[in-house]
Amino acid sequence: MKISDRELYKICQECGGNARKWMKEFAYYLPEVAKRSLHRRKGFESIYQFAAQVAGMNFEVCKSVLQLGEKFENMPLLWEQIRMHGWSKLRVVASVVTPETEAIWIKNMNRCTKAGLEKIVKKFKSVPEKKCKDGVVRLSKGNTQMGISLGENVPCGDRADFDDRTMLKFKVDDETEFQFKKFKYELEKKNGRAMTMGEVLKKLLDGVETVQPKPRKTRKIIKVTRQMRVAEKREIEEKQNDRCFVEDCNELATEFHHSKRYALSRSHDGVVKLCRCHHQLAHAGFIDEVGDWLVDWQVRDRKIEVEEIDEKVRIYWQL
């Protein structure tokens, strides 16, 4: 085969993209096939056999698509989104969407990733049914319970006899959960690889201390460039103690965010550090540019200039 690695990779990308596109298209029509019993008239024993032989769709995915088709039978506009987003995003909003809020959730699906959508739905479910004076549902910080297993991938069934690890589960509060995540993050960074909860807990019990940063020196910043200076980043990190700036978030902060958008302000004023998911939600319009920085279940109206900048950011993430 006389083609370069770059050309081969491009061909594979095109083939994979086309395969995903047509699988979504097939999923769109599958509930209608089941409703008409078309698969039986064509000689298939079940709709699952039809999906497997015609499109290579496995049992679990087929079952999920059929359930979603039944759920969104009276919401045709939302069901149309399966052609663009697939069934994964529809499955996320299935428990909260209603015919009255269909248009809102379609807009939310188009503006954020699946992970961001999951966070919005999760917080939306936990919000008490009351609103602030401005009509926006605010989210309050709640207690988080975290389950840690000593053997994260302990097999079950017949294979369990071959594993000598013990399953250990317990609940912790918000602060303990965060400190454990922070310790795990720093340990993985030091070792250069991902680690299971069991490995991290073992290291912790063996007396391994959290990696301590070197003494930091600050210096006067004169020229402002798009790239933030190390001293600026350190000041923000120390202020937030490595925690995501969003009040009800208990994740590690990994990405810097310009709340005033550098393209408009040409400064690093108002820069905060967010977790990856909330950083994407900020550019999608689900987080206020100023004030409380609380997640809302519906996208906010913003200045045209900010929206134009964030649209470029969203397009960049989709590449």
Burial letters 183-209, b for 16+ CB under 10 A, else e: bbbbbeeeeeeebebbbbbebeeeeee
Identify which has the larger pLDDT, 60 or 205.
Answer: 60
pLDDT at position 249 over 70: yes
When pLDDT is cut at 50, 70 and 90, the band that residue 150 belongs to is very low
Count: domains in the chain: 3
Task: Pick the last residue of a domain from 170, 186, 212.
Answer: 212
Task: Pick the last residue of a domain from 155, 180, 212.
Answer: 212
Radius of gyration of the chain (CA): 24
pLDDT at position 167 over 90: no
Q: Would you state the pLDDT for residue 121?
A: 86
User: What is this structure's pTM?
Assistant: 0.60
Task: Number of helices (H) and strands (E) in the chain: give both, helices first.
Answer: 15, 2
Q: Would you state the pLDDT for residue 279?
A: 85
Task: Pick the last residue of a domain from 212, 239, 271.
Answer: 212
Q: Would you state the pLDDT for residue 211?
A: 59
Same domain, 162 and 189: yes
Most confident of 128-132, 157-161, 209-213: 209-213
In a domain, 126, yes or no: no
Question: Residue 118: in which H helix or E strand, if any?
Answer: helix 114-126
User: Under 8 Å CB-to-CB from 168, ≥6 apart: which residues?
Assistant: 148, 149, 150
Between CA 31 and CA 36, with CA 33 as vertex, the angle to 5 degrees is 110
In a domain, 272, yes or no: yes
When pLDDT is cut at 50, 70 and 90, the band that residue 159 belongs to is very low
Domain span holding position 84: 5-111
Same domain, 105 and 148: no
In a domain, 165, yes or no: yes
Same domain, 9 and 91: yes
Q: Are the C-beta atoms of residues 62 and 87 closer than 8 Å to each other?
A: no
In a domain, 117, yes or no: no
Same domain, 93 and 29: yes
User: How many other CB atoms sit within 10 Å of the CB of residue 105?
Assistant: 26
User: The tokens of 182 are what?
Assistant: 């922070």
Same domain, 156 and 183: yes
